[in-house]
Structure formats: structure tokens, C-alpha cells
Structure 1
């Protein structure tokens, strides 16, 4: 490929940019984080349940029973609500994605422009300054800088880059300013090649999605044969008219369809997306909320989680008594304010000693990772130097090594403050020969104020934490211990782990892992998952990408690399690990409430399916009409389930989703089925007219469903009491004032004589089945 000449004063022209774009030499289009509005609307409208409801509605319409088409209106409302919630969540995600999207500073036609990273073309000239992330591989064309490649390699030591040196995408500028020519774009970038192994399709490990799909498949397969056989029985055996057979069959099939379950799941998860946005969390995959609720192990890095990514000066230890500590502090302030370095160490010293004495500087030597020190020669005050003791004093620093080793064991870094009355030598770049040590500065990573509280939260929730870092294991362990991490003394240097078996054993034994490579991070996550753990991984660098992709729930820091944000399911926009307790709590709220509310829909679907099969063998007509199911579904299932699904709930998750909802559904399902069958058995002798039998069945079913709702609302609070009473009153009012519409007749003496014993019987059966399931069968399952 022909390369364009570098011009660091003008950059590419508009025509050259257009040519490069046409040639495809562009960083690449940004991926859409969300579905379009059209896709959301189509997904909610074109569903198997909506198609089935439309067919059933057409059948009822064809026989002129228009009021029994009300279930179509409910389906339409469900679709509208589902679209509204998902579009709302989409807008929230898009807005947050726009805020968090990175920009590049490029020189074009002699002017600096802020553009999207995806619009960078080959040979663009990038303007890079302290704090910028390098978004494409490039070569320094002018200036110099120091680069932190920890997001690529995991090592945090800065590297000096001069003209002609290569800058790797995914790294950060620590200090200095330069202009660099882009040499790779898109998939050719170094970071893209590393993350390429993470670009595979990993199936969403969602138990809820699998469970709901299984329920839908089973009921879906049963619908057609049950419907056909029931219609044949109604027409031929029960001698019903065509219209009656259609209405009865449609009633049975409408009850079997759990369309509200799918809608409820979408609404609960979409609502969580919006709620999490209030905690500065961007959810990029809906079902990751479920995985958050199930997480029992979190793998995290030291930086950005336990620490702030900044340094602090813990103390100064004087080595001489000819200067006071105040004078030494003034010297540190004079050096750091004169040099104005922006690296974390210089910022920490300026924060510790904020009063600039205003000394006149004669010459300066800025810090570089090659010399490991920086200094200033002041008029009337001599030369002060700050840096690594062995690089300043050479062999003379040996007497202070013991102090440095003790500090390192505590997770501290040691800098030497030295002084000379002479200026710098060798053109102002070499140390004076009579340089003398005057004080030691002890620095450490600044631990987040919220770290102890956050770590304690996860300990209380029985969530295991694994600290995985590219830094020294001893240093990381000491920092973790200061932050309050349990078992921080269980650490291992990952360079000693060579096989998968050793890593498998290590994850069971150790809490802190140091000197970990990107591949080892992936192996650690795999080992934890192999042990049956649900693993969340937090990260910010390209070196975290493989592990993030493999984890059950991946969480990236917005301040980290683009690659980490792209593959992660959740992005913390404030890059603050303290948000995690809120996020995990939101996941638990959603899934716990969803389990509780899902059981209501499952009861209706199971009851309708079993009853439909039973009435294939019973000579009587099916006792329900579609409009009656619509009334009961709305008051005893639909509205209550949505209200209950959105309330606070921080209980820990227990058991499996499918078992939990089946456990809750079976007692109610069996009670309703046996209650209706008992009613049919009694009516075999009493011979109530069909309209009265149907009304009695609706009343009996309503009582049983409200009894189930009563249990689901437990423990009761003011809102639950209001919900339960309102639904019961609404049913009574609908019965009294809208009985004709719902094909209900007034209660008479024979009906009451039948209903009262059956109501008592249904209470007894419900308690019996509840005891049987909870105390006997589920105990064996567990």
C-alpha cells in the first residue's frame, strides 16, 4: 500500500481523507449497541403468540362472538407496553453510549479536529497529549512522550517514545506531547489483533431465557393437537353447535398461551436497564442482568476497583537534620510545580505539598523512565532531585535498601529526595557529583474511599472476590489487605503457574494473583467456571478482553480501553467499582421478582393445558369462554404480576429458575384443576344450566387465583394490601355491573350450595399441595 508523506504541520487534506475512506483504509464503522426502533417494534409484533392470538381472534370473529375477542385487545396492549419499555431502554443505552464514546484529535488541512475514532484513516496525523488513549497504531512523527502500555501488557511502568518509535493502540500517554502518523487501521491494529481471539459468538448463558423457551416449546407443541381434538369432541361428542365449539376451544387455547410471561420478562429486564443507568451503568446485553443476580465470584483488577489509579504520599522520612521537614516539603513542592509533570507520582507529591515556594529555576531535567529521576537547579537553593534511589546514588544507596524492602513488603513505593549545591553536569543532563540523600518519600496506590465498604458488601453476600493483576503479587496483596479484602494473605505469583491443572488448583486456594498474563486471566476464568461458579469479570484493558469475553458477566470501566468496553455486557460510566453493589442488587431485585410473578402466568398456562386435556375425555362442554379468561388474567395475574415485578427485593437467589417457578406454580395449578373437576362431578347430579355452571366455574377459579395471589403477595406491606384488596374489589364490581359482558349470571341458591363447600375444599387442597411440594418433593429435589 502506497503511504502518504508525513506533514506534522498540516496533516492530510480533505481529498486525501476521502480517497483513503473510499479505499477502505478507515478504522471502521462503530457497531450498533442496540436494535433499531423498527427492529424492536417488529420483534414485539411478529411473535408466535401474537400470530396465534390473531388466528384465534379471527375464528371467534367468524362465529360472531365479538365480545370474546377482548383478549386481542389485551395482546395489543401488551405489545404496546413491551415496545414502549424496550424503546425507552434503547434510548437510554444510546444516550449513554454517545456520552462514553471516545474521540480522536487529528490534524487535517492544518487544523485540529475532534472526530470519532471510527473515522480515523491511514496516515492521519494524531495529536496526542497526557491522558489520551492511543486509538490506532502509529509512529511518532514529532515531539516525545511517555506511554503506559498496561492495558496491553498489564505492566504499569511508563516507556519513553521518541521520533520514529511505535505507539500501540490501547496504550495511554502518561506525559509529554507528540504528533504521530497512523500506520494501522481497523483489524490491522495491534489491539484489534489481540481482541480478535475474543470475537467469537458466545451463547447467552441465561437460565431464564432457556426456561421460558422450553415452556413455550412444550406448550406450543401441545396447542394444535389439543385444540383439534377438543374441537372435535365439542362438535361430535358434546353435540355443541359450531359457534359454541369454536368459543370453547378458543377459550381453552387462550388460557394455555403464556404470552404475558415473555412480556413480563422483557419489561422487567428493560426497566432494570433504565434503573441501572441512574447508577452510571450502561447495559449492553439485556440478559446480563440475570447473570449479575447469580454471580458468586468476581474477578477484578487492583486499579480502578480497589485503588483509584492515582498515587498518594504516605510520609516523608528525613535522613539528615540540617533541614527541617518543612524545608524538605518546600523543596519537593518547588521541584514538582516547576516541572509540571502530569504523571501520577508528580501529582501525588503536588497534592501532599501544595504550597509552591516560587523558587527561581536555572535549569530543569524532566522525569524519564530511562533515568528514573527528575530535578531542578534553583538560584540560591542548589539542585534538588527526586527519583529512584539506586539511580540517583548508585552503590551508595545500598545502606537504604533495607528500608526500601520493608516499604515494598507493605505495598509502598520509595523515592529519594537528594540535594547538591552544584548545578547539573554534562549540558545539564547529568547529576552533580556531590549529590547527597536528604529524605525518603513513601508512596502508595490511593485506595478508594468506598473500597472497604464495597468489599465488605460482597463478603456479606457470600460473593468470592479474586484480585487478578499484572503487578507484583506482594504489592497487590498488601494493597488488598489495607482495603479490607478477606484472605488477602492468600496470594500467588502467576509466573509460577505453568499448566491448566496448576491454575485449577490455584483458583481454589488463592485470592490474590500477581504477574498475571492475559492468557492466564482467561484460564483463571475458565477454571472458576469449570468448578461450577458463576463468574463476573471487571476490567479496563486490552489485556482483559479474553477473560471478559469468557466470563458469565463482563463489566468494563469507561475510562479503560475501547476493546474492553466493546466486548463487555455492562460498562461502568463513572469507572467506580462502588457502583457494583447497586448493580448486583438490581439484578437480584429483577430476577427474584420475576420468579415470583412468573409463577402466576405459569399457573394459568398449566391449569388451562391440563384442563383442556381433561375435557377431551369429559362429555360436558368446556366451562369457560375467552372473555372470562381475559377478566381473570387481568385482575389476578396480569396487573398484579407487573406491579410486584418492579418493587424492591434484595433477597439472595436460591435454586434454579425453572424449579423455583414450578415449585410455586404446582400447588395452585393442581388446586384449580381439581376444583373445576369437582364442580363438574357435582354438576353431574345437580344439572345446572351451562350459563350457571360457567359462572360457578369462574367464581371458583377466581377465588382460587386470589388465594394464590394472597400467598404471592406475602409478606404483606401497605402496597401489597392495597394491590390485593383493589383486585378483589375490581372483580366483584365487574361481576355486579358487567356480568352480561363477561357471560356471568347472578348467583342463586343452588349455585351457592355448590360453591361454598368447594371453596372450603379448594383451601384445603391448596394447603395440602403446598405442604406436599415444599416439604416433601422439593426437599428430595434439592
Structure 2
């Protein structure tokens, strides 16, 4: 593994031998379900199990036509499985593209290999931004490691030869060569979490409320079913077969069987759509979160700017020639050997470093905001932010620095000391030599993107480690309206000051990684839904804390690892498309979910009422299948997948109940009224059932009419076709749906009841919107 030139890594023969022995890191686990798990989770659900039991009861009594509801259940399950498998394949393929690679030395040459191909004793080449994908030991070089994803501690930990690096952490500054010590399941991160990836619970209102709805219905459905069956069989004296069929009908109505499927399908379709636009969604529910975002924190570099820099000028601050300055810069850059936009811009000077012998180096870190190197012949040179290098002495050059910063330049200070550098500490006799002027390239479509978010009422915060004046100037050029409202984060000494500044300012300069984290926390404490974009190691903690994190594919491994969305083209201009896709999904889901809850609420209420009513339960499963098909099932999927860019307002459950409650209450009052009228007119059970189906279907179509507003050609066609299908089914398929022909007394009762239903719907809708929802706070 060693030659006279230093470390060369494993040979091809040694790699092959370890692979033969099984000493390989193993297949990198992609955090999506397997096909088997998808089939299992869609097939074995509480509602599917319950529906299967109900179908078994129907089979037992031989009422086969009432099994038609299982066709809907089976179709729903198949659609859910197919869509989720398609989304899984897309995510897996894109994750492989975006997955971090391991950089190794083999046969003396640097190679990029999949993390899964690492073998024991491989020599990894690690630099700032790289995530450590296997436990290893430093064999050459020095670095500082952020172990926050493993230990939760944000402070950088210095590592030198002989020190251990833990998988799941990442290089904050510096570079090193490290020998792989553990592989696969033996890695530290694997033993703790089975993965080196940070996972956090999705911030999803929809998931939370759908789970609550399932829980509430699950707890209530069995006792209601048992009580209703007992009443039908023993108190009403119905035959066993009819009691079973009517009880099953009541329970089927309570189950919103398509709601969970609809949510999965809509989000899966969104993932597929975004994949076509180069956005990898690593968490389905992050689409919802991003659609609700009201505050967007942008890292300047790589987001507003292209992430590349150019050197514009050198401004001497003492009696020093340009050649001496360039020699110092070339020597420092060569010694530290950082790989970041600033270092690359300085390397572009293409100047050979002087033959000085390096005694010590300190790599750049976001916390220090400077890098440095000590040389035996010339002392120490430091390059970075003037405020952090000179501290109180910065006041002497502040005016000239701010002059260039106000012109949009990024200003670095080159300073010198005769004393050697300590372990990350600056010597006391540091003195300024020159200012290095750099400039960022602003993305072409940054202005258009910022204007979009501003028009949508999203509060934008630009956060950067650069000079606040420079950042503000760049933000202004990029089109940020409130760019002049900036603050220097070095003046924010406490968390309370950060909390105040988070609301008051739009541009933040000289921000440390910890302050970025604190800013996101402070905004969330103000009940903001915060999205964070970033591409560097200094963004990781804030990305992890945000409600929705977006990374650039060109950024560091660590930023991609913790982010829920990765922009594969690293183009911030993709953000409006992602937000619009989220809004389409959530707005349409709210609209469609209300249709499911109309049926569930109505069915639960009348099931309880008919425990106490003396007459029989008026519905059969086949009748609910018809009503559900034309008022819920087909319309919900059509409405859920259409374009919708309307801004999201209010809470999911409040919006859904607001739309569902009028229809459900109208249906309940209709059936109660029908029961009382039928008691006086001596209608047969079949006639009562027929009128109940007509009134309930009519009210369901009224709810659909309300949901389809505002009408367009597509909505009009949907509503008309569903209404026609309902009418034709009642005319031509009477035996199938267990309805009978209308008699004159039935018509004389139905016509005024339909008019009353229309009036009730309007009155209840007004009451819900103006009274009940106002108290809840819509």
C-alpha cells in the first residue's frame, strides 16, 4: 500500500481479493420501499381487511350483487400499487444519479466509485463538503469534522493522522487521506440508525389528519356495526340475511376507502412530474410542506449566484507589490489546497507558488471565516473576512472595505504575521497586507424567480457568510425588493437578538453555521413554515432544521444527504415549478377529500340514528356503490390531478370540513325527514330505499357541483356526465341497484324533498362558513 512517493492505495489485485472475501461496503440502501413492501402496505390495510370481512359476510348470506363494492376496493388497491411502484422506480433511478460517490486512491490514482464498492483498507480522499461514508482512520492530512448528524453536536472536531472518522459525519474544512476501518453493518452510523442518512418526521398536515380520520373511524365502526345489527335482527325482527346486508351497507358508507389511495396517487404523480423537471423528491410529503411555505431562506452562493467566482483586483493596504501579494496568495492557496469557489477563483491566477517550506496550515471553515498557512521563510499568511481576522483593528480599514462591498464585490483580506499559526488561532501581531476583490456571477433567471415568490407573498431571507453590504448589493441586482434591509450577523450576540432580527431583516451577512440554524429556529417559533436552500457544508444544520430543505445537486454530499428535495440541474429557477406542483396537489386533495368525508360523516350519523329508529336501515351496499361512484370515486380522481396554482389558505382539516359538512348534514336531515314522512304514508321498505337513494345521490351531486366551482368546460363535462350516469342507472338498472319504479305518491314526496334539500344545502353552507368556521378560525 506504500511506495517511495507516499500513499498509493490498494492495488487491483488487493481490491479483487477483498471483494472475493465479502469485505465490501455492500449495496447502498436507498430509502424507498421495496416492491414487496409497496404491495403489502397497499394490500394489507385496516380498511381493506375490514372490507374483506364485510365481503365475507355478504358472501355468507348469498347477496352476490352487493359484492360490487369490492370491485372499487380492488381497483383502488391496484391503482395505488402501480402508481407507487412507478414513483419508487423514478426516485431510485434519480437517487443513483444524485448519490454521493466515494473518492479513493487505488494503484496510485484517484478514482470515483459508488459508496457500495468500497472495500476494507481502501484509502479515501476526503475534502471539505464530503460525507464520510465508512468508518476510517486518518493516515495523512488534517481536517475538521462535523459530527452533528451522528452526535447532534454542531462544533467542528479537529482530526489528524491516527484519529478516527465516523460514518455519517462530514468534512467541515481541510482535507485528508483515510483508511477504511469498517464496512457495511459494522459502521458506526449503521449500528445506530441502520443508515448514515439523517431522517426526520415529515411536517405534513394531510398525513396527520388522514391518520386521525382512520383512527377515529376504526374505533367507532365496530361498536356501531354490532349495535345496528343487534337492533335490525332482534328489535326490528328482520331476517338474518337482510340484517347482515343492511349492516354491511352502513359500515361500507363509513369507510373513506379511496382517501388514503387518493393521497398516495396524487403525491406519487407529483413526484413523477417533478422528476421530468430535474427535481428529486426524497420525501413525498415535502411536496405538501413546500406548497405551504411562507418563508424561504436562500443561501446566496449557488442559489442567487452561479456558485462560481472571479478575481477582479488586488488593492494593497501597505507598501507591497502586486508580485509579492500574488506570491503570498499562491503559496497560501497551494498549501491549504481548499476546494471551494473562492479558492478556485484564486487558483485561476495560474501563478506558480514560491518555493517556501510550509510549517502549518489552517483550512477555511465557515465558523472561522479564514484560512491560513505558516512558512519557515516568511511567517504566516491569512486570507478571509477582515472582521474575523483583525477583530477590533478592522475599524481602520472598514471604510475602504465597505466602499468595495457596496459595489457588489466580495472583499477578502490578506494579512501577515511573523508568528506561526496556532491550532485554529490567530497570532496577536497580525497586520493587513491587501484586499482581494472577487465577484459572484448572478444567475440569469434569479430575478424572475425572486419576483415570483414576492408576488406569492413568500417572505425571502438571503443568508450568507459574506459581507452584508456585498450580499445586499447582489440581492438587489438579483431583484430582491427589500435588499437594503440588511444586518451584520456579527452584531447579533444572543439568540434573542437573532429572533428579533429574523423578523426585521431580509438580508443577513457574516452568518455562521450556528446562526443559520438559529435563524431557521427563530422563524419557526414565529409559526412560519420555513424552506431552506443550500449547497454547502455550512448550510447543513439549517437545512436539517427547516420544514422543507432543498439542496443543489452540484453542492456538498452532506447538504444533499439531509435535504428532502434535490435540484438535479442545480437551478434555483426550478423552485416555482415545485411550489406550483405542491399547490396543485394540496388544493386538489382538499377538494377531493371533502367528497369522501361527506359520505363518511353522513353514513356514521345515520348509522347511529337507525340504532334508535324503529324502521329498517334504508340502504344496501350496491346502492352506496352507485352513489359513491358518481359523486365521489371518479370525480375525486379527475379533480385531484388537474392544474391548480391557487395559494393555499387555512388548515387542511378546516378546509375539508367546511366543504364536507353542508352536504353531510343535508343528507342526514333528508333521511330523517323521509323516515318521518314514510311512517305516515306507509311506503314499503323498497320504496323508502329507492327514495333514500335518489335524495342522497341528488345531495351528493349538489356537493360535487359546489366542489367543481368555478366551472370550466372540463368541470361542466364531469358534472353533467356523473348526473346522467346516476339517472340512467336508476332508469335502466333498477334490479341491479335494488330500486323500484316511482309511483305518484313517491313523486309527490320526492319533488318537495329535493327542493327542501337544495334550500337546506344553501342554508347549512351559509351557517358553516359564517358561524361555525369563524369560531374555529378557518
TM-score by length of 1: 0.79
**Retained in 1: the 8 A contact 2:502–2:519?**
yes
For residues 21-59 of structure 1, give each alpha carbon's deviation from its aligned partner in whole angstroms, at most 9, with x where no partner exists.
899987675332211010011000000000000000000
Shift of 1:344: 5.5
Check 1:412–1:147 CA distance in 2 against 1; reply closer, same or farther (3 A cut).
farther
Match of 1:268 in 2: 266
For residues 75-130 of structure 1, give each alpha carbon's deviation from its aligned partner in whole angstroms, at most 9, with x where no partner exists.
11110011111111101101111111233453435676542134334643457999
**Retained in 1: the 8 A contact 2:266–2:640?**
yes
CA distance in 2, matches of 1:691, 1:18: 78
Q: 1:676 aligns with which of 671, 679, 687?
A: 671
Check 1:6–1:70 CA distance in 2 against 1; reply closer, same or farther (3 A cut).
farther
Check 1:442–1:8 CA distance in 2 against 1; reply closer, same or farther (3 A cut).
closer
Shift of 1:345: 7.4
**Retained in 1: the 8 A contact 2:126–2:178?**
no
Superposition pairs for residues 289-438 of structure 1, below 5 Å?
289-311=287-309, 405-413=402-410
Q: 1:578 aligns with which of 565, 573, 576?
A: 573
Is 2:650 aligned against 1:655? yes
Q: 2:621 aligns with which of 614, 617, 626?
A: 626
Computed over aligned residues only, the root mean square deviation of the Cα atoms, in angstroms, reads 4.6
CA distance in 2, matches of 1:768, 1:580: 42
Is 2:745 aligned against 1:747? no
Q: 1:99 aligns with which of 97, 100, 104?
A: 97
Is 2:701 aligned against 1:703? no
Superposition pairs for residues 324-723 of structure 1, below 5 Å?
405-413=402-410, 443-723=438-718
For residues 516-567 of structure 1, give each alpha carbon's deviation from its aligned partner in whole angstroms, at most 9, with x where no partner exists.
2222222221111111111112222333222222211111111122222222
Superposition pairs for residues 44-83 of structure 1, below 5 Å?
44-83=42-81
CA distance in 1, matches of 2:623, 2:187: 63
CA distance in 2, matches of 1:230, 1:753: 31
Moved more, 228-237 or 760-769: 228-237
**Retained in 2: the 8 A contact 1:4–1:123?**
no
CA distance in 1, matches of 2:706, 2:290: 27
Shift of 1:457: 1.2
CA distance in 2, matches of 1:5, 1:21: 23
Shift of 1:714: 0.4
CA distance in 2, matches of 1:53, 1:404: 72
CA distance in 2, matches of 1:559, 1:727: 49
**Retained in 1: the 8 A contact 2:691–2:746?**
yes
Shift of 1:487: 2.3
Is 2:275 aligned against 1:277? yes
Check 1:718–1:166 CA distance in 2 against 1; reply closer, same or farther (3 A cut).
same
**Retained in 1: the 8 A contact 2:488–2:509?**
yes
Secondary structure, aligned partner of 1:310: strand
**Retained in 2: the 8 A contact 1:92–1:277?**
yes
For residues 170-193 of structure 1, give each alpha carbon's deviation from its aligned partner in whole angstroms, at most 9, with x where no partner exists.
56999xxx9945467779999999
CA distance in 1, matches of 2:355, 2:682: 101
Secondary structure, aligned partner of 1:298: strand
For residues 654-704 of structure 1, give each alpha carbon's deviation from its aligned partner in whole angstroms, at most 9, with x where no partner exists.
111111111111110111111111111111111122222211111111111
Moved more, 567-576 or 128-137: 128-137
CA distance in 2, matches of 1:166, 1:217: 47
Shift of 1:253: 0.3
CA distance in 2, matches of 1:487, 1:196: 45
Shift of 1:410: 2.3
Count of aligned pairs: 703
Q: 1:759 aligns with which of 745, 754, 757?
A: 754
**Retained in 2: the 8 A contact 1:85–1:270?**
yes
Secondary structure, aligned partner of 1:30: coil
For residues 227-276 of structure 1, give each alpha carbon's deviation from its aligned partner in whole angstroms, at most 9, with x where no partner exists.
11111111122221000000000000000011111111111111111111
TM-score by length of 2: 0.79
